[in-house]
Amino acid sequence: MLHGGEIYDKKIEYDFSVNLNPYPCPMEVKSAINEAIKDIDKYPDMSQRKFRKAVSDAENEYLKKCYDLEKSITPDMVIGGNGASELIFSIVRMINPKKVLIPVPSFYGYRHALNENIFVNEYLLRKENDFALTEKFADEITCDTDLVIIANPNNPTGKCIDGNMLGAIVKRCNETNTALLIDECFLRLSDGNVSALGFINECNRLFVVSAYTKLFSVPGVRLGYVVSSEKNIDKLRRFLPEWNLSVFAERVGIACAGILTGSDFEEKSKALIREERVNLTGALREKGIRVYPSDANYILVHSKSDLYELLLGKGFLIRDCSNFKGLSKGFYRIAVKDKEANREFINALNAIV
């Protein structure tokens, strides 16, 4: 099991292996999909004009709210992709690194994007530090490190990066002329209040990757984007297919960006996640299961029982994390769902543990 969501060969009632927003997807997003049907006989806009403008507006709003920074992201600093995965692959191809630094455990997709000719320096996150990045990670960035890949929050741990730590990493990458790719796909679903976007004009080789897939629960649409300098985006465009956003993805992206700038959808989502994460964490700990601190809409746990198989027998799918570098048998990732799904999960847990 390399990813969550592998439901097609199993009998599943509740999928707790994928980390989607438990708050309902707005009707505007679903309407955008339906509206796009009438344009399936047309090629999508290769330049992504409306999409890039909508995303830049949403990101500037985010910067204003979190950092009180004035508008600094232009549409030319944004490009969309067929999910964050395509963009990560394309950034790696463009940089063509010989040596890459990544923390472990972390998302399998980073390792998958790095071919066998690349030396990967895997920095082990420690259980005793709750798998958080520490100052020693920045020390691993040397002049022969071509690329650093990190996530904020990390996956599968759910831990956000401390602001001082993020600043130290950015500073060190500037000193060593190292490219820095930061995955923020779950940031808007977390309690994290520090985005790498705040450093976008301070680091020439910074790439901030995000997606609307998880935030709006539309993984089937495949919709990601990256923010970087205009020079970097112009170069990255040559490593992407000409029409890598379908008309469906483009319209959905514009709708999602509009919701972020014109509603409290994000705040309501975070409030629900925060409340349900506390409930889920409490129920797991009552059963003697080790729960690691999380800031996100998923939690990492360790159990002596085979939770994967026991819960699968009850129709619940969780993510077995034993194949993550830096983890071992007994580690599992569990998504935070809505109240009803979490209640059913807790009932199943009480029946097996």
Of the listed ranges 63-72, 254-263, 324-333, the least confidently predicted one is: 63-72
Q: How confident is the model over 78-93, as pLDDT tens digits?
A: 999 999 999 999 999 9
Residue 346 makes CB contacts below 8 A (sequence gap 6+) with: 279, 280, 283
Report the percent of the chain where pLDDT is more than 90.
Answer: 90
Q: How confident is the model over 29-81, as pLDDT tens digits?
A: 999 999 999 999 999 999 999 999 999 999 999 888 877 767 689 999 999 99
Q: How confident is the model over 147-175, as pLDDT tens digits?
A: 999 999 999 999 999 999 999 999 999 99
User: Band of the pLDDT at 10, cuts 50, 70, 90?
Assistant: low
Return the domain boundaries, the chain.
14-24+265-352, 27-262
* Averaged pLDDT for residues 95-100: 98
Answer yes or no: are the C-beta atoms of 19 and 214 closer than 8 Å. yes
pLDDT at site 353? 83
What single-letter amino acid sits at 36? A
Check residue 235 and report its DSSP letter.
H
Q: List the CATH code of the domain at 27-262.
A: 3.40.640.10
* Averaged pLDDT for residues 116-139: 93
Residue listed under structure tokens 């985010």:
62
pLDDT at site 72? 86
pTM across the whole model = 0.94
Say whether pLDDT at 100 is over 60. Answer: yes
pLDDT at site 9? 59
DSSP 56-117: HHHHHHHHHHHH-PPP---GGGEEEESHHHHHHHHHHHHH--SEEEEEES--HHHHHHS-TT
* Averaged pLDDT for residues 332-350: 97
Q: Which residues pair with 14 in a beta bridge?
A: 316
Q: List the CATH code of the domain at 14-24+265-352.
A: 3.90.1150.10
Torsion of CA 46, 148, 19, 266, to 10 degrees: -70
Please give the mean pLDDT across all residues of the chain: 94
User: Band of the pLDDT at 4, cuts 50, 70, 90?
Assistant: low
27-262: same fold as 14-24+265-352?
Answer: no
* Averaged pLDDT for residues 200-216: 95
pLDDT at site 232? 98
* Averaged pLDDT for residues 281-304: 97
Residue 251 makes CB contacts below 8 A (sequence gap 6+) with: 32, 33, 35, 36
Q: Which helix (H) or strand (E) holds 163?
A: helix 163-176
Say whether pLDDT at 103 is over 70. Answer: yes
- CA 344 → CA 201, 283, 290, 341, 350, distances in Å? 46, 12, 20, 5, 10
Say whether pLDDT at 5 is over 60. Answer: no
